[in-house]
Amino acid sequence: LSSEFSGRTKGQHKGKFWLILGVAETSAILYPEELADYVTSDPERLRIDYALSREDKDEEGRKMYIQNKMRLCGDDIWSWLQDPKFHLYMCGLKVIGAE
């Protein structure tokens, strides 16, 4: 994301990017200011959602994990998938994804 939204290759990809980041709490997000700046610089091409397992709850009141966030954003994800240059990044602990 850094090279696409702020580096010397800025904007060369021309596709859309979506990051779904799973962390325990807001304080665990790495580089939050930089990520926010990237979204602000090109909101049509970049979306970032956080699954904060100790702060957020899913629609059934359970901890929020990446798979729950994806379910909530399903229609939007499907829409973005129609762009052949779309990249979806999901980042979090591997053990959580096994649930």
Neighbours of 13 (CB within 10 A): 14
Q: Does 47 map to a domain?
A: yes
Q: Does 97 map to a domain?
A: no
Q: How far is CA 2 from CA 21, 36, 49, 68, in A?
A: 15, 12, 17, 26
pLDDT tens-place string over residues 30-88: 999 999 999 999 999 999 999 999 999 999 999 999 999 999 999 999 999 999 999 99
Q: Does 62 map to a domain?
A: yes
Q: For residue 44, give the CATH number of its domain.
A: 3.40.50.80
Q: Does 29 map to a domain?
A: yes
From the number of C-beta atoms within 10 Å of its C-beta (0-12, 13-18, 19+), residue 98 rates as exposed
Q: Does 95 map to a domain?
A: no
Name the domain count of the chain: 1
Phi first, then psi, for residue 37 (nearest 5°) are: -65, -40
Q: Does 71 map to a domain?
A: yes
For residue 98, pLDDT over 60 is answered with no
Residue with token string 């999901």: 90
Single-letter amino acid, residue 61: G
Q: Does 41 map to a domain?
A: yes
Predicted pLDDT of residue 39: 95
Q: Containing domain of residue 67, as a range? A: 2-90
How many angstroms separate the CA atoms of 98 and 4, rounded? 30
